[in-house]
Amino acid sequence: MNPASPKRSAIRVVVVDDSDICCEVLTEQLEADGDIQVVGTAHNGRTALARLAATKPDVVTVDLNMPGMNGLALIEAIMVDDPRPILVVTGLDAKDRDLAVAATARGALELVNKARAQDEQASAALRASVRRLATVAVNRVTPTASQPVMGSTWPTPHAADQPYTPIVGFGSSAGGPQALFEILTALPSDLPAAIAITHHLPADFGSAFARLLRSQVHFDVEVAHEPIVPSPGLLVLAPGGMDLVLEAGSLRAHRPATTALLCPSVDVLLTSLAAAPGAHVGVVLSGLGLDGSAGLAAMLAAGKLTIVQHRASAAVWGMPRAALPSALEVLDTAAIGDAIVRWVRERARLRGHR
């Protein structure tokens, strides 16, 4: 039952969807507990921009399939003109999920499935996402000069690492795909390293994320349904709802601990890279929370290269800020790629490969 009036401190939301019925359902679901107020609705991107300018909401929910300026174009415009947290509310078929994952590379911070009017569990998840995003400060992403924080004194190569293919482990969450795709598309196809990615996504969007990567990058993208031996030019993901670890020389999917809050866990991947032989690299990109800080600390202690995305190029500074004490390098996205190439090629020469 909706309260008669929202609280003064209610979270302010603009709902963007071309369907009147969807706008009504979303409004009812969002306002059910009284701490969220829908301050405007819009049926296309152009109208949405006017609503945002007039109401200055804390969070925007966006449907992607709209006439005129669609959801992807709207997200790009918001992130350029007036960045704020964007939650994509999407349909359930594969095409919708592909578009939703693409939206995270444009600036959307989280994804949820559209819930039926009487689906209380899904409605509660929608409100939880809005509450979480309302606390997030979204940065206008701007390029900046690279800024090493520890003098760029890289670890001395270990002889024991030489037979092993280096693995570059990326961890990201809200706002991370923008940086991730910029880095991956700039890396050379002959990079003498494997890549492992842990990006926070709902489990049912994992396949869509893999499809997007295959369409955008020049690496071979594999999902670790079975153990995969890392090799140069290979990019590995965990299946949806699973963690990714380096274990016994292979990248493998593991079921997360029952107490895990986030999956796939960045800490789990980076901690496994820290414990394994090889000149591995840990990179923490834009995201909410603390995930990745413990794993990057373990990699630093183990003599691996540790990199954190610079604040000026990170849409959300939470994860990079938490990992900052363990970063040998704090770099913008363009410079992250350069550092990775330099590190792995130097160690490839030590292994006698050219």
Give residue 57's pLDDT: 97
Give residue 127's pLDDT: 96
Give residue 4's pLDDT: 46
User: Does the annotation mark 280 as catalytic?
Assistant: no
Question: Can you identify the CATH homologous superfamily of domain 11-133?
Answer: Response regulator (3.40.50.2300)
Contacts 24+ apart (CB under 8 A), 43-48: 43/16, 43/17, 43/18, 43/19, 44/16, 44/18, 44/68, 44/69, 45/16, 45/69, 45/70, 45/71, 45/73, 45/74, 45/77, 48/14, 48/16, 48/74
Give residue 331's pLDDT: 94
Q: What pTM was estimated for this model as a whole?
A: 0.91
Give residue 200's pLDDT: 94
Interior/surface letters 6-40, b for 16+ CB within 10 angstroms, e for the rest: beeebbbbbbbbbeeebbebbbebbbbeebbbbbb
Give residue 353's pLDDT: 47
User: Does the annotation mark 173 as catalytic?
Assistant: yes
Give residue 201's pLDDT: 92
Interior/surface letters 114-150, b for 16+ CB within 10 angstroms, e for the rest: bbeeeeeeebebbbebbebbbebebbebeebeeebee
Give residue 339's pLDDT: 95
Mean pLDDT in runs of 10 for the chain (354 residues)?
57 96 95 97 95 97 93 94 94 89 94 86 94 93 51 76 92 95 95 97 93 95 97 95 96 88 93 97 96 97 96 93 96 93 88 56
Neighbours of 202 (CB within 10 A): 17
CA distance 196 to 222: 10
Inter-residue contact 209 to 101 (CB < 8 Å): yes
CATH topology match: 11-133 vs 159-350: yes
CA distance 81 to 25: 29
**Domain range summary for the chain, segments of one domain joined by +:** 11-133, 159-350
Give residue 7's pLDDT: 53
Selected catalytic residue, list 43, 200, 280, 310: 200
User: Does the annotation mark 172 as catalytic?
Assistant: no
Give residue 119's pLDDT: 85
Selected catalytic residue, list 172, 173, 293, 326: 173
Selected catalytic residue, list 17, 58, 267, 291: 291
Fold of the 159-350 domain: Rossmann fold (3.40.50)
